[in-house]
Structure 1
Amino acid sequence: MLWQLMERLNDNPTAMFLLPLAIIGIGGAIPLALESRRRSSIDGALPEMMELISAELGAGLGLEQAFADVAKSRNDVAGSLLDQALVRAQATSFTAALAKFALESRSALVQRVVNLLDAALEQQAPLQEVTYRMSIEYEKLNSLMRLKEEKVFGQAFTMIVLMGLMLPCITGFIVGIFAPPSTGYPLASTLEALYLFSAAATGVTVAISGRMLGRTGQYLWSAPAWMLMSTLLFQGVYIMAGNMF
């Protein structure tokens, strides 16, 4: 079975070229996907953390103690990073610890929160009210971002399914019906061009989908795997259709 599969791959030079690239690309896409999930987890925890900090401030605690209590009460990534930053604050300053927390989180929302807190501290603004308003605003922002991502993800996934899966299947089926391998037509150059077309169309679609979602790097790394799947689908459907009719 494996030997037959390798023989089929020898008839598809595009797949042979894409196979090592797909393996490398998957290895590069996985860390980016994990990092994206990590940032999403931190961003999602931010409104609740701000609300808890506001409640701690309302109970009469200072800002540093409020952050410390919230960090110890959470078992997620955001709580762990904040706790580590506050431990470092013992050797530096609380402001420097918050800056370090924002830097290590690699989250634009966290960096914005830290900047707003620094400005509030400099202007001696009421921190309880500031943190409470921040919790409300960032909860709304996260909700809007989730709705947008769900909508855009549906559109992007539909594009990938149409161009990367359905188009190769339809094209391979049509070619397999009218020019099956059993006819002996010299279709090597034509099939190679169709393999390249399927791979190129899929690669462009994946890149556009990544740009729509704001994850261009992650999707570019995964593009060779989608391109390989597209060419293999075309080849498989072409052979099956040719043997059926």
Structure 2
Amino acid sequence: MLFGFLESFNDSALLLYIGVIAIACAGGGIPPMLERRRRRAIENELPTFLEALSDSVGAGRGLQEAMMEQSEANDGPLAVLLGETLKEAHASSFEASLGAFAAKTRSSQVQRVMVLLETAIQQDSSLKNILADLSRDYERLNDLMNRRESELQGRGILIILFVSVGLPILIAFIVGLFAPASKGFQISSFNQTFSYFFAAASAVGVSVSGRMMGRFRDTLWWLPMWMAVSMGLYLGAVKVVGG
């Protein structure tokens, strides 16, 4: 029965092509998601890390000693990456190791902090006060970013679900109920046209959602999948409801 249902989509070649492309593109869409999650985890850990460094420096420890101590005392991604970098820095200067650490995080926040710390070291400034100020500033910044991302992500997902899932199923239910194929209605070409429409609508909806969340390029990897989902849901729901 399942294979018979799947064979009913043989008339929609575009759906099959987009489905194959969607599977291939999913492999390209997963790494950016994982990288972004890793980067945001590092940035969310940064304020607490800076506050701990400020306390350690205020207690009389040097910056390098304080960093090594915090990297050993914590198991977050920032601390782990810092510990690995400092252990590899025996053949280079401490400033060079800070630059290497900032580059490995691939975070603009961490990179700015490391530049400020290098400048403070060169100018012999008060590291305790600088670290404390940076901790407060980045804590507020990350709180704002997290709230904004949460709100925009909810709206973006709602747009995608409505355009790619809810709307095709609703229209398919109406078409299947009032013009069922089991009653002799010949609407195959109509259904194909509507499936193309929903594919295009899904592409627009996903693009708008990605643009709104500031992840347009990353979202493009998932565009074929949502197009295929939209087409498949419409054609499948029409067959289920209308026979």
TM-score between both structures, scaled by the size of structure 2? 0.95
Determine the structure 2 residue equivalent to 1:140. Answer: 140
Cα distance in 2 for partners of 1:112, 1:240 equals 57
The 10-residue stretch of structure 1 (17-26 or 124-133) with the greater mean CA deviation from structure 2: 17-26
Are 1:190 and 2:190 matched, yes or no?
yes
Q: Which amino acid aligns with 2:29?
A: A
Deviation at 1:11, TM superposition (A): 2.8
* 1:82-131 superposed Cα distances (whole Å, 9 cap, x missing partner): 01211222111111111111111111111111111122222221000000
Determine the structure 2 residue equivalent to 1:31. Answer: 31
Cα distance in 2 for partners of 1:204, 1:36 equals 23
* 1:56-94 superposed Cα distances (whole Å, 9 cap, x missing partner): 101101111111111111212111110121122211111
Determine the structure 2 residue equivalent to 1:64. Answer: 64
* 1:213-244 superposed Cα distances (whole Å, 9 cap, x missing partner): 2222321111211111111111122122214x
Identity across the alignment (%): 38
Deviation at 1:154, TM superposition (A): 1.4
Q: Is the Cα–Cα contact under 8 Å of residues 14 and 192 in structure 1 kept in the other structure?
A: no
Determine the structure 2 residue equivalent to 1:224. Answer: 224
The 10-residue stretch of structure 1 (214-223 or 177-186) with the greater mean CA deviation from structure 2: 177-186
Cα distance in 2 for partners of 1:17, 1:185 equals 27
Are 1:110 and 2:110 matched, yes or no?
yes
**SS of equivalent to 2:221:** helix
The 10-residue stretch of structure 1 (208-217 or 90-99) with the greater mean CA deviation from structure 2: 208-217
Q: Is the Cα–Cα contact under 8 Å of residues 176 and 239 in structure 1 kept in the other structure?
A: yes
Deviation at 1:143, TM superposition (A): 0.4
**SS of equivalent to 2:49:** helix
Cα distance in 1 for partners of 2:94, 2:61 equals 15
Determine the structure 2 residue equivalent to 1:86. Answer: 86
Runs of at least 5 residues in structure 2 that lack an aligned partner in the other structure: none
Cα distance in 2 for partners of 1:152, 1:117 equals 33
**RMSD of aligned residue pairs (Cα, Å):** 1.4
Determine the structure 1 residue equivalent to 2:177. Answer: 177
Deviation at 1:198, TM superposition (A): 0.7
Determine the structure 2 residue equivalent to 1:13. Answer: 13
Deviation at 1:28, TM superposition (A): 1.4
* 1:13-41 superposed Cα distances (whole Å, 9 cap, x missing partner): 23211111111122111111111110111
Are 1:101 and 2:101 matched, yes or no?
yes
**SS of equivalent to 1:169:** helix
Are 1:238 and 2:238 matched, yes or no?
yes
* Matched pairs, number: 243
Aligned pairs (5 A) from 1:161-172: 161-172=161-172
The 10-residue stretch of structure 1 (160-169 or 171-180) with the greater mean CA deviation from structure 2: 171-180
**SS of equivalent to 2:91:** coil
Q: Which amino acid aligns with 1:177?
A: L
**SS of equivalent to 1:90:** helix
The 10-residue stretch of structure 1 (21-30 or 187-196) with the greater mean CA deviation from structure 2: 187-196
Q: Is the Cα–Cα contact under 8 Å of residues 157 and 209 in structure 1 kept in the other structure?
A: yes
Q: Is the Cα–Cα contact under 8 Å of residues 72 and 83 in structure 1 kept in the other structure?
A: yes
